[in-house]
Amino acid sequence: MPSATTQERPDVLKAECGSQQVLELIANKWTALVIYCLGPGPLRHSELRRRIGGISQKMLTQTLRNLERNGLVTRRVYPVVPPRVEYSLTPLGRTLCEPLKAICRWSEQHLPELQAARARNGQRLAPRAS
């Protein structure tokens, strides 16, 4: 057992390591898409909802709250009537932009290959629920 002064290096493969919770957060489809959309700059809730196909208002709200709670997104309320709220990435959230862009591009570029593989195996990509 390590002493109180020695900390083990995080290991995402260990069940007791908190890094698995971080991976679960950022590997979530809605989290990835919200961060991807906020990469270029702040957006309002309605703008995010329009850009992210298939996300419900409830799921977007839950995702934004979770990202805010975890320090990846900030919520800014402007003192106007009616209130205007914008969401933006924190410096920590911005560190995810490049990896998520790469994953999104990979998904788009390799979709035909994945579809072909599934067709060969008698399956198809599941349609998105609306």
* Bigger pLDDT: 74 vs 19: 74
Please check whether residue 61 lies inside any domain of the structure.
yes
Is residue 130 one of the residues assigned to a domain?
no
Where residue 78 sits, what CATH number does that domain have? 1.10.10.10
Is 4 part of a structural domain of the chain? Answer: no
Quote the domain boundaries for residue 38: 19-120
For residues 119 and 117, give the distance between their C-alpha atoms in angstroms, rounded to a whole number: 5
Whether this prediction's pTM lies above 0.85 is answered by no
Counted domains in the chain: 1
- Determine if the peptide bond prior to 83 is cis (ω within 30°): no
Question: Is residue 6 in a domain?
Answer: no
Q: Residue 126 domain-assigned?
A: no
What's the mean per-residue pLDDT of the chain?
A: 89
In this predicted structure, the answer to whether residue 125 has a pLDDT above a threshold of 80 is no
DSSP state for residue 14 in the 8-state scheme: S
The tens digit of pLDDT for each residue in 45-83 reads 999 999 999 999 999 999 999 999 999 999 999 999 988
Q: Please indicate, yes or no, if residue 87 is contained in any of the structural domains.
A: yes
What does the pLDDT average to over 8-32?
A: 89
